[in-house]
A and B are shown apart, each in its own frame.
Chain A
Amino acid sequence: MSEIQRNYNPALFFTITGVALFLSWLLMGQDLQDILSNGISCDEYNVREMLVLYSGLPRLSVAILSGLALGFSGAILQLALRNPLASPTTMGVSAGAYLALVIAGLFFPATLVYGREVIALVGAGVAAALVFGLMARRDFSPISLVLTGLIVSLYFGALASLLVLLNDRYLASLFIWGAGSLSQQSWDVANILWPQLLVLFGLSMVMVRPFSLLVLGDGSTSSLGVSPGMIRFFAVSIAIALAAFVTSAVGVIGFIGLVAPMIVRLCGARRVLSQLIWSALIGAALLWMTDAVIQILAGSLREFVPTGAVTALLGSPLLLFLIPRMKFETVVQTNEVSVVWRQTAGLKVLIVMLLISIGVVAFAVTFGRDADLGWAFDLSGNWDDVYQWRVPRVIAAFSAGIMLALAGMILQRLTGNIMASPEVLGINAGAMMGIGVCIYLVVGVTPEIMAVGALFGSSIVLATLFAFGKRSGFQPERMILIGVALGALIDALIGALAATGDLRSVHLLRIMAGSTYGVSLEAACSALLIGCVLMVPLLSGSRALDVLNLGEKVSLALGVNVRRSRFVLFAVASCLTAGATVLVGPLSFVGLMTPHIARSLGLLQARFQMVVAALAGGSLMVVADWIGRVIDYPYEMPAGLLSALVGTPLLLILMSRQNAFTRSSNA
């Protein structure tokens, strides 16, 4: 059927290019005409001429080059991985490159002499390896791959902004760059970029034939004497390098690599070579047009609105639009781990955990730094100077940990997905957006106003999630993918806001970093209360949690109303997430870790698992908060960031273990 189908790509390409040309002509046409008719004036400083020659035209070239590279890269990834959602953005490659550059720039500026490209390449490679490593035993299912990639992407992006945040003097500069500003003042960037791309395009042309065979089916490639794995590795490497070079040149340009190949396929390109070439061309035209539109709309701010953030803003709704239209295999997840972990006596573990929690809390309240920057146990009972400030924070951290752990528990039980966590739902991102709006609109915001804003933002995201989710009966993978896409969208929005260089953006970033700083005793206690109260329906309804992840049919047979239970559980999880975000920001990852910790302690019943996870979450958060308070006294590191730093490696260990077990239990 596809043989007869017409290829609409040339028409589309010329249309977009035409529009882009027209817009660019509006921007620079007059000046270009002057230059062409009068020649380049060498002696006098002609501002308009200079701007066209050293800003306008280089910007246009860099936009086209970046678009070419990203479109091509996305097409390779989508073909090589047989995944319609693969792209440099959705696989965390661009974010990895960005994080590597930030780390190098802040901590090892000497390494920049080896070239930004090398560092970006290393970062992109590490991110890709991480995503592949996490996915290796999950058969690269398209959804799981993109899910993992987007989470890695969001996580790396968040880490990068936090590193920038902790070095305030670099803030503005890296922020503008990180959001993908195409603004240029010389041909330098373009001159660096085009030879790199030329080499990579050349290399990929060499492998087009084996690659086409690979895409057609693994079997036929063996006749060429090259293993399909090698070809795939080679192709993906080229795609990663392309994305890394673009990131090192202009920062993260979101979603072009996802959108261009998708459009090309929709427009009827079938053959591999034609998909690759048209993806590159359409990507270039798209980025060129977007950039021209931004320049016209932004007017005097045009060199300042980061094109990358805008493409992300346009791209993530597209992802949201596509998700309901994608086919999902309903995977009935059995309780994989039960095969492996021996069930232990729940009560004993619970008591031990309780004792540990009490110890941690007591330690966090009494041990700290004294006035002369030394270390000291403070047992004086000095409420006014010391405990007054420590106690609410410890309580708040503990409550936030409880809330996140419970939310994570629910989500992982519901979805049977190891990656599920409140951070992934995108609700905390919504809460952040609400806080951001408050900071930008209200002069002299108070924490109360911000809390209201956060709740407002999170409920909007929640409503959106439900609206999307209801159609699919709250199908787990879809819900989480929607959440991640929402998170990416809101991230992009915050990035664009922050890139205005406004002092308020610093405020926003600090809250995003997630600190229990400034929480009042009343607020902390009510948070603890809310956490405990929300645990009650979960404990009484723990049967539903035990049963739901046996799959829809089994649950129905066991008398659990799947749809209603899911709805209630998602709602509770979202409330918990919103509450925790107000306390410790959106980045904690405690919700991701603690259910695994509880499970690895041998707790399988939802009831015990829940309580132990909650205690573990609380303790972890208290420890993170304590480290943040004492390590750089009188300066503070946010607890959210610290727990994320601890959480990710732990998560990786847990995941590789579980994946191994999954395979053995499936076999």
Chain B
Amino acid sequence: MLPDHESELIKGAQKLHLNRRRFLTMGTMGLTASLFPSLTVAQNSHGENKPHRIICLDYGSATTLIELGLPPVGVIAAQRWNFWVREPKLPNSVADIGQDLVINLEAVSRLKPDLIIMTPYTTSHKPVLEKIAPIEIIPLFDGQSQPLSASREITRKLGVLLGMEAEAADYLKSFETKLAAARDLVAKRNYPSLTLLNFMDARHARVYGVNSLYQNVMDEVGLINAWTGETNYWGFQTIGLERLASEASEDMELVVFEPLMDDIKPTLEKSPLWKHLPSVQNDRFALLPPVMMFGMLPSAERFLSLILSHLESRYS
């Protein structure tokens, strides 16, 4: 094991002077390796021909790579990471490559990636990006499979692709363990049904249901989604608040995820329809930090832990 490891380090050191960004990346990887001994294997089992400079065109795959211990070298809209994703933290080494539909090709090209991961949403980039590096389109929100099962499958596949089968398996295992623990907890408690919202403006919100990552997670742990209405391809429906009032069940818990624009709260506080919602009147309403709603397992995990700790604080 050791000689292998050393040679890897030497190779790394040789690359150091080449490029500042690369240096930073290597530094982070070294740091990760020393903090988490189990991950050192990742660096070792990482064959020469396996990709290790990866660019992600969606937040979901980026979070997964971070959890697997091989953060991407570049991700779209890194500036906005804390606004939409927040956890897991984005390492400083990760470069910003622009917006998801207008990525900066010069920036991508200079990062010298050896793999570019994208979802069906950004496949319009494929013909151009193919010139830079091999493309992997992960079937997340492809309209066929459910996001959670797709995420599991993709995580496994990424493990194979990156020569990190063991890490992927470990991560999947720890995810399933958390899911099982959550399932046990939910079975013991008598939690109310939930309505999950993102506000678009003071009058309209996205509500999540069938086809969403949230719905999948809730199904697996036994939580009940109060919103049973129709949803679109990505698992949400944009509705007016009136609609929320008419289809709200009496005892549901209303969960609003950030981001929440500054001007929404004061407007809501003046709106009779909102103020008189049973959930709001009975203080069955919570504002939780952001979770990437179109994410993968790390977002599912974050969603679950945020929801459960909120429910526990109220209904245990």
Interface on A for B, CB 8 Å cutoff?
45, 47-48, 50-51, 53-55, 105, 109, 112, 168-170, 172-174, 176-177, 181, 183-186, 188, 300, 302-304, 368-369, 371-372, 384-386, 388-390, 443-447, 500-503, 506-507, 510, 515, 517-518, 520, 633-636
Select A173's contact among B20, B261, B277, beta carbons within 8 Å.
B261
- Contact between A300 and B204, CB atoms less than 8 A apart: no
A443 CB contact (under 8 Å) in B20, B99, B143, B241: B143
For the complex with contacts A105-B263, A173-B204, A388-B131, 11 further pairs of A-B residues with Cβ separation under 8 Å are A45-B276, A51-B246, A169-B259, A172-B200, A173-B201, A300-B230, A302-B240, A303-B204, A386-B106, A635-B104, A636-B99
B296 within 8 A of A: no
A371 touches B278 (CB 8 A): no
CB-based contact B143/A176 at 8 Å: no
Q: Which residues of A contact B106 (CB under 8 A)?
A: 368-369, 385-386, 389-390, 634
Neighbouring A residues of B245 by C-beta, 8 Å: 47, 50-51, 55
Within 8 Å of chain A (Cβ to Cβ): is B305?
A: no
Which of B83, B96, B105 lies in contact with A169, CB distance below 8 A? B83
* B188 sits at the interface (CB 8 A): no
Q: Whose C-beta in chain B lies nearest to the C-beta of A53? A: B272
- Expressed in whole angstroms, the Cα–Cα distance for A173 and B260 within the complex equals 11
Does any Cβ of A come within 8 Å of B128's Cβ? yes
Q: Taking CB as reference atom, which chain A residue is nearest B250? A: A45
Contact assessment for A510 and B204 in the assembled complex, using a CB-CB cutoff below 8 Å: no
| Chain B interface category by residue count | 35 or more
In the complex where A50-B245, A185-B272 touch, is A520 in contact with B234 (Cβ < 8 A)?
A: no
Contacts of B230 in A (CB 8 A): 300
**B232 in the interface (beta carbon within 8 A):** yes
Footprint of A on B, CB under 8 Å? 19-21, 80, 83, 95-99, 101-102, 104-107, 109-110, 120-121, 123-128, 131, 143, 200-201, 203-204, 206, 229-230, 232, 234, 238-243, 245-246, 248, 259, 261-263, 270-274, 276-278, 281
Q: Please indicate the chain B residues that have their CB under 8 angstroms from the CB of A444 in the complex.
A: 120, 123-124
Assuming the contacts A45-B281, A386-B106, asked whether A506 and B101 have C-beta atoms less than 8 A apart, the reply is yes
A172 & B238 in contact (Cβ 8 Å cutoff): yes
Q: Are B120 and A386 in contact (CB under 8 A)?
A: no
Instruction: Let me know if A372 and B20 touch, CB within 8 A.
Output: yes
User: B270 contacts A177, CB within 8 Å?
Assistant: no
Asked if B104 contacts A634 (CB within 8 A), the reply is yes
B308 to chain A, nearest CB (A): 27
Q: Tell me the bound Cα distance from A389 to B103 in angstroms.
A: 12
How many pairs of residues, A versus B, come closer than 8 Å at their CB atoms? 155
* Complex Cα spacing A172 to B124, Å: 22
Give the 10 A-B residue pairs with the shortest CB-CB distance, closest first: A303-B240, A173-B201, A634-B104, A501-B238, A444-B123, A172-B200, A185-B273, A389-B105, A55-B242, A634-B107
* A-side contacts of B95, CB under 8 Å: 634
Q: How far is the CA of A446 from the CA of B122 in the complex (A)?
A: 10
**How many angstroms between the C-alpha atoms of A45 and B259 in the bound complex?**
29
Contact B241–A518 (Cβ < 8 Å): no
Residues of A near B241 (CB, < 8 A) are 185
CB < 8 Å neighbour of B200 from A47, A176, A388: A176
**In the bound complex, CA of A568 to CA of B72 (Å):** 55
| Complex Cα spacing A478 to B262, Å | 47
Given that A176-B204, A507-B101 are contacting pairs, would A385 and B110 also be in contact in the complex, using a CB cutoff of 8 Å?
yes
Q: A655 CA to B95 CA in the complex, in Å?
A: 46
Distance in angstroms from B131 CB to nearest chain A CB is 7
List chain A residues, Cβ under 8 A from B200: 172-173, 176, 501
Q: Please pick, from A47, A109, A169, A515, the residue contacting B248 in the complex, using a CB distance under 8 A.
A: A47
Most A Cβ at <10 Å: residue of B95, B98, B234, B281: B98
